[in-house]
Structure 1
Amino acid sequence: MRTGTPDPPFVFGAEHRQFEESVAKLARGQFHDGYLQRATTDDMCWDELAELGRHGLLGMGLPAELGGQDADPIARGIACEQVARADFNLAYLVFGSELAAALVRGSPPEIAHPLVRDVTAGRRLIALALTEPRGGSDASGTSVRAHQVDGGYRLSGEKTSVTLGMHASHAITVATVDPGAGSRGTRRFLVPLDDQSISRQSFADPGFRPLSRAALNFDDTFVPDDHEMTDAGSGLSAVLSDFDLTRTLLGLMVIGAARRAIDATVEWVREREAFGRPIAGFQGVSFTLAEHDTQLEAARWLCYRALGLRTAGLPHTREAAMCKWWAPRLAVQAINDCIVLHGHVGWSSEMPLQQLLLDVSGLQIGDGTPQIQKLVIARHLIGRDYVG
């Protein structure tokens, strides 16, 4: 084995280090201080979305002619983590732009490319309509029906918990053509949401407020044949194939948000005094921060391990599931302990810590609950014949 190589294993290479520094500088300088104001309104942050587009942080994995950077999964993880360290909701916009790649793979260029260019420029948003009121984690139980008619399909039924649903111009919608066939009977459709047969209803949520979470009701909505997305098998299987990436990126987002809380708390405990000295000198304070520093660092590199496997074309479903159940739990606990270490000041809604906790807590559920992730891991560890 050779030693002293320029880019040894298990650390970022020079390009990734430079990219991390540049995104961190951008996010800290332009987005950090405005997080709380944006996070506590229902107004979509279109100006900031356009700024992300100008800096090439939307649809990063796409080719340059579509507004992307041909970026590998590790670079996309870096972008999600570092933007989340400044503004968690803006990081979700970076994350959500990953849907553009599904359009390129599954739709005709004349339909996909103009929309994708708008997405990467920050002019439009697309959403994923997968969850249903009675579905939750059982994504195979799709009840939104797609009836084939001349020239296309008619969609009927309701999707719920559609993040970005109030602001998106289109939704990639999973519907079934044969309810008895389970996931094999599902299809994906690119549905323009300005159709008069579609109604939207927003949820009053404590977090994700500028992003919105919506229910979409399709009332015999016509979708042309060329708006069916036809790659990668059935509609559901194509969505599930992306979960290994999205679950890992979400893990890095919550870690970035927790790091913001840790950063603020380190500054606070150096300045706050009790019993005649800074409270950083008490082990009840410093040990708590040391524990979270350790756990967040371990979870962070588990996420980059999963992205490294993806970059190498190797299986990483198990690792992605680990990232998705463990990182949100660590982040929620870290932010909560940071609130406690701030004392009565941390309880105030005038500081960002409470809002960080509300925003991050939602990702304990989105993209699959902890129970689902543990089931995925157990199937790999013990065998599906034993755990179901």
Structure 2
Amino acid sequence: DNDTFPLWYVQEVEGFRTDVRVVNYMLSSGYWYVHQLGKKVYDAPPLKFTLTPDQYEKGRNQYIMYVDRGITGHVEVKELIDFIASDDERTKLPFNSGETLNYMPVKKLRLTVDSAKCVDNGIVPREMAHLIVPYIEWEVRQGALYKNDLMLLDFLANNDWERPLYFANPSSLKKVFDVDEYCHLEGSVYKFMPVRAKDHIPGLGGINADKSYDVYMNDYSWGNLNDPSVTVDRESYRHARIQKQNFLRVAQTLLSEGKPDKAAAVLDSCLYYFPHDKIHYDIIQMPMIEIYYDAGHIETANKELLLMTKVCDEQLTYFLSLDVDFADTFYSKEMQQNIAVLQRMSEVARQNGQDELAADVETILQTHMLTLQLPQQ
């Protein structure tokens, strides 16, 4: 809801990108919502399905269980959907009561790719056409399909590479549509493309760094989180941390692609819109500092390292001011993490020739380690 309702707002109130169909995957477990998906909304055409509205009706196809029929290899997802939609009794699972239910006889699925359509419809950039795979294969990881799972596979079977498809988080679909290798981060969303991501991270997908850079630096408007008079609510804080993680991934990829200034610019923007006094420093900041050093932005790296050290110092000082048993019970993890961060900051400073700065960090580190009675380095 927190991902989709703001998008519905900008379509309904602002009239923005009314050609895009926003789908709430969780809501599509309800028959009434699937019915809506089959209708035009604003300027967005309906989603195409094989199953009829009656077959998505309440009480029907709520739970499509898997029954092993000894089928080897991968089956086209369209064939599975046709099997489930069929009225042929041979496609049903009989029960002693005389009732029959739909089932799925296969878990290994394939989606054949039409490369020409992918390019013509903007799903794959023309310059990446040579990277398009002939088909995508995956395996359903659960023992049944629920209504929203069925809706997704039905849409995939009928979209025929006509409309680009984006996910907020591919890992949320992993049990049914395990294809994060083909999901490319573009800013805050993942574009599904029949192109393997060269920098794929299991559960996170890949990243289109140049597109993400353009989106973050030129398209997005971040509002007023960095305004001193604005109090950040819990939900905004959570989303801001996700955005910081995405900023970091973009910067890391740009740096690996030999674009250090772009990498540093992305981090500059991140720290401007999500400053420490609003979105507090945490372990995410460590690789940011390393990127600044690797990008040759030494002054900024030193500044951020000092601030990170100050935060760790203040937190450890507070934890150590508490009752020992209380702190050990409730803040042991935080204390260990702060010690680890200080150790890493010292190493990073020395690796980048900042010996004086490293010595300052080590002084703070040794003080806290002595108080905690940890072995001295």
Using the size of structure 2 for normalisation, the TM-score is 0.23
If you compute each CA radius of gyration, which structure gives the higher value, 1 or 2? Answer: 2
Higher strand share: 1
